[in-house]
Every structure is written in C-alpha cells, then in structure tokens.
Structure 1
Amino acid sequence: MHCRLVCFTVAWLVGGIVSIQFANAATGRQSEESSASPVGTQVAMFELPNAYGKPVSLSDFAGKKCAAIVFLGTECPLAKLYGPRLNDLQAKFGDRGLQVIGINSNKQDSLTEVASYVHRHEIKFPMLKDKGNVLADAMKAKRTPEVFLIDADRVVRYHGRIDDQYGVGYARDKKTRSDLAIAVEELLSGDEITQPTTEAVGCHIGRTKEVAEVGEITYAKHIAPIFNARCVSCHREGEIAPFTLTSYDDTQGWEDTILEVIGNNRMPPWSANPAHGEFANDARLSEDEKELIGQWVDGGMPEGDPANLPEPPVFATGWQIGEPDQIIQMRDKPFDVPAEGVIDYQRFVIDPGWDEDKFVVACEARPQNRAVVHHILVYVIPPGGRNVDLRKVLVGYAPGSTPVDLDDGVAIHVEAGSKLLFEMHYTPNGTAQSDLSYIGVKFTDEDNVDKELEGQIAANSRFRIPPGEANHIVNAKHTVSSDQNLLGMTPHMHLRGKAFRYTAHFPNGEEEILLDVPAYDFNWQMKYILKEPRKLPRGTIIRCRAIFDNSEYNLSNPDPTKTVGWGDQSWNEMMIGFMDMVDAD
C-alpha cells in the first residue's frame, strides 16, 4: 500500500555621492573595533539618492533635534513589519524634532524595488539607497532593521532594535519594550538614555564584496540543484518565504543570511532528532550540501556555465489531486489580514452538506493567498456534536506540504451530517491582505474501501503549567487495540511548547523512540511521515512526553506570569500526539 500524506510544516542602481565616516566624538579618530558599540561615535555628513533618484543629504535635516537612521531591506520579513511602525514613530515625534531616515544598502535591492517598498508600505519618511554599501560599511551596520539614533551633533546615542515584538523565529502578540521610542523620548527630554544598546536582529545586509570568483563550485552545476530540491518550493514568487531563490540573480546579497540559517539548522525547517526514525519527508540539508554552499560562498559565488543549469522544478498550478468532486471554502467571504501584529488562530465552521456517509480518498487544502497563510488544519465535527474529533484531521496545509492522496482501498470515513472546522494560521507580512482559502475533496464508494485511515491521539487536557516554569513535563498515552501500521506522527503544542517525544512500549517489554523533537517550533506544524510503516502489535502503548517552557526566557511566551492550561488559542496550550494508522492486516 502506498500513501501520500500531508506534511505540515521568508539590477540597476542610481549612484549617489556618499561621504561618511565614524569618528570618536572626543578624539575625532575612526573606531578600530568593529565589534565595539557605536554609541558615542559621530556620524559625518552624507548624501544619497532617495527612492526616486533625488539626492538627499543629512544636512537637509540640520534643524532637527535627532534622527533615527534605520537600515532596511525590501524583502526582509522584519523590515517589512517595521516599516509602517517607523511611520508611526515619525508621526508621534516629528513635531518634537525627530527625523526617521531609512537606508537600503542591499546589493540585491534595486532602486525600483526600493521605490516599490516605499509605495507598498506607504513609507512617509525618506528612504535612501546606499549603493555599494559604503554607508553601511562606515557605520558598521550588519542587519535589517538596525537603528542608529543620533542627536543634533550627529553623535550616536542609541543603537539596536526598534522594539522587542518581532525577532528571528518568534513574534509576540504585543511588544513589551519600545526601545527606540523610549530612547527618542529620553533624548528629546534631555535625559540620559537608560538602555543605549540593544541587539539588532533580522536579515544580514546584502553587501557588495570584492571577492574574486575563484571557486570551482558554481551555482549552475552545484548549488541550483540543491536550492531546487530543498528551497524553491517556498522561496519562489507568491509563496510565503521572504525572498526568491529561483535564479542566480536571486541569490545575490542573501549569502550571509543563507549561511546563518543553514548553519543553525533553521532552514530548511526540520525538527526531528536524526538518531530516531527515518522519515520520507526529511527536509534537512546533508552535511555535503551545506559544505558545498559554504565553499561556493567562500569562492566568490561564481555563476558557472548556464548550460549546466538543471531543469527548473515544475509546481502544480492546478489541483495536485486532480479535479475534486467538491470544493469547500473556509467561509462565505474573505478574512482580512492586517499588515502587522500576531493573528491568533481563526476558526470557521462550515456545513459541507454531506447527508450521507462519505469515504474520502483524496483531499487538498489550498490557500487563496499564499503570502500570508502559514498553515491550515481542517477537522471533522461529528454529527450533532459541537467539538471537533481530534482523531479526524481531514487535511492540512503548510508551505511545501503535499495533499492527502490515498490508494490501495484506503479511505477516510466521515459520517453523514458532519461539519468541518477550518483552523487558519496567518502571518502578517507588512501589507494588509485578505484570504479565502478552500479545500478540494475526492470520494469513492464504500464498496471500494478495504481499510480506513484512522487518526489516533495521545492527549492530555488536564495539565496546569506554573508561571515561570521552564521545563514542565506533561505525559499522555494511547493503547493500540489491534495490530496497526503507524504511518506518521504530528506533535502539537502552542507557544510554550519546547520538546516532544513518542515512545513505543511493546507487549514483549521492548521500547523504541519513534520520534524525538528536542526543539519544538510552533511556527512549523510538521507531520513526520515514516519512510516505512512501523507495525504496532495489539497492546502496544504509545507514550508521549511534552515539555513546556513558561519562563521569561521563552521569547514567544505571551505571559510568563500566568498559569496556563488547555485551550484553543495560542495563548493557551495543547498537548496532543497525533498519529495516522491503518490496520496491519
């Protein structure tokens, strides 16, 4: 039997005259320590073209009491989110003497793209283009977004982030400290800056580097096949990833960010411990692939002979399951996704009109707006019931996932009168959007069904996670009532989820770790599909252990001062070990 199941899971330039250096405000000498804080150093005058090619000088704002020089990029997710927030800061403090100045130093961002960024996000402050990253080099700027707040004498008084709401791998429902706004208020009030330095987080600035293309590893022959196989399913036009990787030009300027995210295993997203189990949808880069990418970057990122380029991957534009028997929308009108913030799970109940039992052999969830749909889960609500049947997840979607497509006489049985719950997770991208996602379903007659795909769960809804507890353990179990073949597992927790493990305890006394997720990531709701089905004899006990982090050190934690229990929304918690099984006979 073969089952394909869903796995769940960021040119031309107009030149400008630039003259800038960092000088110590006391000695006038240029700083030699690249890692030293720029606070206390002085910025010299500079002139750069704005998004429309007009020269703009720092001297144009000589009458201002302070200026926030902020390095931004057009595709960096954090830069997209913080652009509109900088508008608010300019509006709040502009009359009191603040001037926000945006700087784009990315070699991959053309002036046209900078202008598009200004238009798309309705940027109200000057946005300047730093050709050749001369200004970024002089100021030792590394990230987007990164702030340098200078006073009337051009001395840096604050350096770092804008606030603490967004970071790499986390997004709080609200900021807890508005670092830049506090620094501006203190500076304008004549007070000392209480926290002059914070860590700037975000994408690396895509620098123009004087590196000769001397490497033997080329994009066309070695790197394009890796990116095609591992990255472009998400990193392509219209998908949720923040930039595209479908051509050689797309890679330029992103090399430092790419090396960082693959070096710390953030990308491609995969959380399973390789010591336990083999999975058909393992997304990890091999060590050889990582080494090739590193050698390519070190060798100057040569393009190579375009004749060596592999055939680009082809992605389905229509239904991957073929034309469905029924299409079901998540609601009767689109849902509006705001430009920024954290959007909690949206839950929509739909009556599909099933007045007879249905046997589903294929189901595909399709986001209408892939740029903001992070994932979709569609549950079955049994007839006459008000709650979902957690054992009946009809289909799901996450970037890079595949549809449910069953064969060999296997189907999902749904009772007549059942309703469907669409659970939608949205990720704002800096621009207000809307979405009306939907699913397609294919059925078969009951006479064609030999086995039912059965969802099973090990769940615990009676836990209470104490405030501040960094390693709170919750256990659950499921006993296998007949010989079964385990096909896949999906651990499910919310923002305080830290780790999850499935362990099989067999009737003969043996134990086996089926899946270990030592660093659970709420942002990637993954299904781990076994490479080969694992037979579980009757009487096998599947024990699931979840670890929760309700401490202040969990940057995603909505409130570490609260006791947390079971609930639907992400500020609550869940502890569910989903499993897909079929009869072994």
Structure 2
Amino acid sequence: MVPVDSFRPRSLMHRRLVCFAVACLILGNAWIPLANAATGRQSEGSDASPVGEQVPTFTLPNAYGKPVSLTDFEGKECAAIVFLGTECPLAKLYGPRLNDLQEEFGDRGLQVIGINSNKQDSLTELAAYVHRHEIAFPMLKDKGNVVADAMKAERTPEVFLIDANRVVRYHGRIDDQYGVGYARDKKTRSDLAIAVEELLAGKPISQPKTEAVGCHIGRTKQVAEQGEITYTKHIAPIFNSRCVTCHREGEIAPFTLTSYDDTQGWEDTILEVIGNNRMPPWSANPAHGEFANDARLSEQEKKSIEQWVDGGMPEGDPSDLPEPPVFTSGWQIDEPDQIIQMRDKPFDVPAEGVVDYQRFVIDPGWDEDKYVVACEARPQNRAVVHHILVYVIPPGGRDIDLRKVLVGYAPGSTPVDLDDGVAIHAEAGSKLLFEMHYTPNGTAQSDLSYIGVKFTDKANVKKELEGAIAVETKFRIPPGKSDHVVTAKHTVRRDVELLGMTPHMHLRGKAFRYTAHFPDGKEEILLDVPAYDFNWQMKYILKEPRKLPRGTVVHCRAVFDNSEYNLSNPDPSKTVGWGDQSWNEMMIGFMDVVKAD
C-alpha cells in the first residue's frame, strides 16, 4: 500500500528529511585508446556509436592487484566488456546476472570482463564487491578512467561486446528489466544474450545499439583548491538537511554523502538528478497548496551545487564545516509500552528480481480498547526495506480498514507522535496487518521488522485521529491506454480539519489530483501530483490544517498509463482492475483528519 509519515495535529512544522536515493550504477580503470576513435568523453546525447570500431589490447589490475591483459583471452570468440561499480543498485543487480551469462556462453567462446572506472571505488571496495556478489569473471580497475575515456563509456552498467578481432559488435544495456526509476517483474528482451547468440552463430546483430541507463562514471577531475562556493561552507549544509537521512551508512540509499570524500565521483549524477527533479523526491505541483514536508531544493540550493561542481568542487576551510546531523539509533518515541514483530521468523529477501508486497497478520493481544498516542515502525534491515505500513483489522473482521492506518515507515519518515489529547483508537480484539515492501540489492538478505507502541487512558483523549478515503474499486483499464481516468469522491459529514493527503496507485499510476468542492459553490485544488511515481509514494502534510466544513465533497481524479511507453508497466496487453499486488491497480485518495474545534 502506502508508506505513511507521521504528524502532530497541532505541530505540523516538523520537517521530514528526504532521501536523495538514486537508482543508478558505477564502474572502471586504464589502457590504450580505441583504434579509429578519438579519445576523451562522449558528449551526452551524441549519435556517435562505437559499433564497428576496434578495441586495442590493454592491461589493468584486477580486484587483487594482479595485472590482466585483453590478450589473455585470445582464442575466445567474443568478449563482453562491461563497466560496473560497487555501490549503485543496478550494478549490484546485474553483477550476478553477468555470472549467469558467463556460465551459459563460456563454453561456446564468451568471456565477460568487468571494468571499474570510478574514482570513488578503491581496490579494497572492488574486492569486497567481487566477494559479496560472488563474481566469477575478471573485475579490473581502470584508475584514472583512461579506458573509459578511450571507449567513450559514460554509465554503469554499460556493455561493449567485441568479436575475436576486438571489433565492437554490440553496445548498450544488458537487458530491459531494470532501469532508473523502474523495475519490471521480468525482462522482456535479453539484449546482450541475444547479441552474443547471434555473434556466435555468425549472424548479423539484429539490434547492435541500445541505450545504457544508470549513473555517470565517476571520473577523475582536477579539484580546485579554492572557490567562491565550497563544500564545507555551502554544500555540506544542503546535503545534511536534504540527503544524508538516507545517504548514510546502513540506510537504503546506494551511496553515502556524509563527507567531502563521499561526494567525489558522484557530482555528474547529482547534477543530473537535481536537474530533472528526480531528487530529492517530491511530486506535488507547487501551484497548489503549501506543505510542511516539501522536499524540493530551492533554486538557490540548486544553483549553489551547480556552481560548486563547475568551480572544481573545492573543499573549503574545515572550520566552516557544520556540525553533522545526529540520528537516533534507538527509539525516536519514548520507550514503547509494547513491541510487536511482523511475524515469528525473518522473511528472506532474494538478491534480485521484484518482491511484491508481503502481508503478515499479527495478533497483538489487545483484550481491551487501546488508545495509541505514539507508534514507530522500525525496519530490522534498512538496506532492503522500502516501506512498512501497519493497518488495524477490526475485531471479527477479515479485511483491513483502509481508513485505519496505525503507522508507516519510509526512508526519511518520522514516527507517529500525537499530542493535544489526540489518539488513534483500536478496539479490543483488533489484529494488525504488516504490509512490507522490499527492494532487492544484489545480495540475499533477511528482515524481521517491528513496531513500538505507546498507549494512554481513554480519559486523556479529546479527539481521535481519523482516516478518510476517496476510493474506486470497480474500474477496468483497457490495454494500451495511456491516459485512462478513474474518479472517486468523499463527502465530509461533519466539520473537520484536513492534515494530509496520500494518493495511492500502483505501477500504471500517472497523475493524481484532490479537489475540494465546498458547500458555498467554491472549488479549490488541495493537491496536484502531475507525475505520480510508484517508487516514492508520499504523504503530503499540509503546512496549515485546512478546514473542510460539513457538506464539502473531495473529488479525486487518477490517471493511469497502461501503454507500452510506461516502462514500469508489467504487461500493456492486459486489461487491469483492482488488486492488492503491484501488477494489479488501486485508486485511493487517503486523507488524515481530526474533528474541527
């Protein structure tokens, strides 16, 4: 379902530190330039293709410092030279897949060769990557990105398939399952495997070039000693407030940004994701509503980062460095009255693929009505837990009440911590449903997440925190339809204060809008999300509560893209209806309200 952030009904000015997480990749080391090709970087968007060019021999150290030459593989029918990295998600996912390719075609004459050209990846880190992912092919270090420059490699993973004469016959991606911002349930085209099969069979390559997607290779650049914009004085405060909640050790983000050294090699990727507004993740149209947890970088912050990179990324005076943010290692709420695990044993998360929502029903043993004033969801394994959502199942009920969300977790979120006599009411005999969303990171993992709950007496409760929804379950999205509209509405039965909204769709979700139609005939767009992203399902917390008088009708309008142009679409040939898993769809406009004073 949806990751839910917490709030204080009368203290909405808390700020949610938001992940700067990027679904991207990295690799590289040094050699002799391509024959018949100019050395240096290939400009973005260039039509120049290396297909048909010859790769001369080169010698690079492997992960353990031993020199390995391209001539060592003479006699092989072909070689797949793949630029990889140690920290980015796609490189972690595709490393084991390249093992499979080597095993499948090795006896027929293929040799996979990995190259890491990232200046931020040391030999020690490269060796750890090889060990962790059980890489069975040579992994070489391209110090100074000489080989990457000569081959005009830009991203990781990026493939150059060469024949026995070292001529590039295929260039691009490995397959189409994973990309930046999407992950299909399964690949629909194994581009590299098809090219290898055709090459070994003596056939022309049917599709010799595809687009390689991922992070920029972290190239070695001249760093300025001084500059008007420095890391210590200008950039560290931005990263501390916007990024390091997720980009720190042990969190779900693919690399850390807690020090100056951490930033080196990631500058091109950072500029790209802030330039196209992928990071920090925030999808609300700024023309409608003001939100307490608005994660957007200001134009000045963007400009400062751009100027810093363009100015050579000077470190600056160490005395200007701000105090690093302090993150709670224990409970963020007061010591809980009860700790509840999601199940009695850990759940195994595979190394790769798509793990759909896992649901576990737990009996918390509540034999009397409970009034919850604080609740915190804690992932046991933050590296793979994308989000947690915990619902209350009413006594005797078999289904969840979509309006009764107890707590949620997503990277950067804060716990539920209510004040001013507000509480969440759970009836005696209620059960809890843990809904878990996992993101494989290239290594098999396990997780046993849990929540902590604090209660109060009924006598202390002045208001109950309530959920409201606009929901439509009886819809059918036609195959191939790129802009199918589904609407729903919620009628306000008594005066309430609206605190936040969470639009929810699955992989075909495209856009979502909340519009209030007031009893006096006026209309107001409460929230507009023109580019909905399943990977970042956010709660939008209003900067100030919005009073909705009795008789107000909140209309929700969702747009779905079931076409082939939606890269996250599991199957554009199918008609899609309501369902729990992400290959089905949902249309829900969640709202958090309390009774108006």
Residue in 1 that maps onto 2:368: 356
Displacement after TM superposition at 1:213 (Å): 4.2
Do structure 1's residue 112 and structure 2's residue 124 form an aligned pair? Answer: yes
What amino acid is the match of 2:282? W
> What residue is the counterpart of 1:409 in the other structure?
421
SS of 1:439 mapped into structure 2: strand
Rounded Cα–Cα distance in structure 2 between residues aligned with 1:394 and 1:473:
30
Name the CA distance, whole Å, in 2 between partners of 1:214 and 1:447: 62
Alignment correspondent of 2:314: 302
Give the AA of the match of 1:450.
Answer: K
Structure having greater relative contact order (Cα 8 Å, sep ≥ 6): 2
Q: Which residue matches 1:81?
A: 93
Q: Hey, what does 1:528 align to over in structure 2? A: 540
User: How many Å separate the matches in 1 of 2:347 and 2:502?
Assistant: 27
Structure 2 residue runs without a partner (length 5+): 1-8, 22-27
1:392 to 386, 404, 425: 404
Change in 2 beyond 3 A, CA 1:583/1:93: same
Alignment-mate amino acid for residue 200 of structure 2? L
Which of 255, 271, 276 is the equivalent residue of 1:264? 276
Give the aligned partner of residue 438 of structure 2: 426
Q: Hey, what does 1:189 align to over in structure 2?
A: 201
Q: Matches of 1:6 and 1:20 in 2, distance apart?
A: 51
Amino acid in structure 1 at the alignment position of 2:569: N
Give the 5 Å matches for 1:181-580.
181-210=193-222, 212-580=224-592
- State whether residues 327 and 440 of structure 1, in contact with CA within 8 Å, keep that contact through their aligned partners in structure 2: yes
Contact 1:213 1:299 survives alignment (8 Å): no
Comparing 255-264 with 213-222, which one deviates more in the overlay?
213-222
Give the 3 Å change call, closer, same or farther, for CA 446–206 of structure 1 in structure 2: same
Question: Against the structure 1 CA distance between its residues 96 and 414, is the aligned structure 2 distance closer, same or farther, given a 3 Å change threshold?
Answer: same
Residues 216, 268 of structure 2: 8 Å contact kept: yes
CA distance in 2, matches of 1:404, 1:541: 27
3-state SS of paired residue (2:35): strand
Q: CA deviation at 1:211?
A: 5.2
Per the TM alignment, residue 18 of structure 1 is displaced from its structure 2 partner at its CA by: 4.2
* Residue of structure 2 in register with 1:156 after alignment: 168
CA distance in 2: counterparts of 1:74 and 1:313, whole angstroms: 26
C-alpha spacing 1:432/1:291, structure 2 compared with 1 (3 Å): same
Distance 1:56 1:212 in 2: 34
Q: How high is the TM-score relative to the length of structure 2?
A: 0.95
The answer as to whether partners of 1:347 and 1:421 remain within 8 angstroms in 2 is yes
Q: Distance in 2 between matches of 1:307 and 1:213?
A: 15
Shift of 1:76: 1.3
The residue matched to 2:99 in structure 1 has which SS?
Answer: helix
Contact preservation (8 Å) 1:467, 1:550: yes
Q: 1:2 aligns with which of 10, 23, 44?
A: 10
Q: Distance in 2 between matches of 1:189 and 1:21?
A: 29
Shift of 1:215: 2.6
Residue from 72, 75, 78 that aligns with 1:60: 72
Closer, same or farther: CA 336–29 of 1 in aligned 2, 3 Å: closer
**Is 1:131 equivalent to 2:143 in the alignment?**
yes
* Aligned amino acid, residue 417 of structure 2: D
The one-letter amino acid paired with 1:229 is S
1:390 is paired with a residue whose SS is coil
Write the deviation string for residues 259-284 of structure 1: whole angstroms up to 9, x where unpaired: 00111111111110111011011111
Contact 1:378-1:423 within 8 A present in 2 as well? yes
% identical aligned pairs: 85
Provide the residue aligned with 2:35 in structure 1.
Answer: 23
Q: CA offset at residue 3 of structure 1?
A: 4.6
Partner residue in 1 for 2:24: none
The letter of the residue matching 2:58 is F
Deviation at 1:525, TM superposition (A): 1.6
Contact 1:544 1:577 in 2 (8 A): yes
Partner AA of 1:511 in structure 2: E
TM-score of the aligned structures, taking structure 1 as reference length: 0.97
**Residue in 1 that maps onto 2:25:** none
TM-fit CA distance, 1:22: 1.5
Instruction: Flag as ranges the 4+ runs of structure 1 deviating above 6 A.
Output: 5-9, 28-33
Contact 2:501 2:589 in 1 (8 A): yes
Q: Distance in 1 between matches of 2:521 and 2:105?
A: 69
Equivalent pairs counted in the alignment come to 577
Check the 8 A contact 1:17/1:46 in 2, yes or no.
no
What's the counterpart of residue 13 of structure 1? none
Structure 1 equivalent of residue 114 of structure 2: 102
* Secondary structure of the corresponding residue to residue 238 of structure 2: helix
Aligned with 1:420: secondary structure? Answer: strand
Specify whether residues 306 and 32 from structure 1 end up closer, same or farther in structure 2 by C-alpha distance, changes over 3 A only. closer
Cα distance in 2 for residues equivalent to 1:437 and 1:309 = 35
Give the letter aligned to residue 263 of structure 2: T
In structure 1, what is the Cα distance between the partners aligned to 2:237 and 2:127? 33
With over 3 angstroms needed to count, the CA separation of the structure-2 counterparts of 1:198 and 1:502, relative to structure 1, is: same
Letter in 1 for 2:363: D
Deviation, 1:2, is 2.1
User: How big is the alpha-carbon RMSD for the aligned residues of Structure 1 and Structure 2?
Assistant: 1.6
2:30, 2:148 within 8 Å by CA — same for their partners in 1? no
For 1:3 and 1:171, locate their aligned partners in 2 and report how far apart those are by CA, in whole Å: 37
**Residues 272, 517 of structure 1: 8 Å contact kept:** yes
Q: Aligned with 2:493: secondary structure?
A: coil
| Cα distance in 1, alignment partners of residues 566 and 41 from structure 2 | 36
Q: In the alignment, is the contact (CA less than 8 A) between 1:366 and 1:437 conserved in 2?
A: yes
8 Å CA contact 1:374, 1:427 repeated in 2: yes
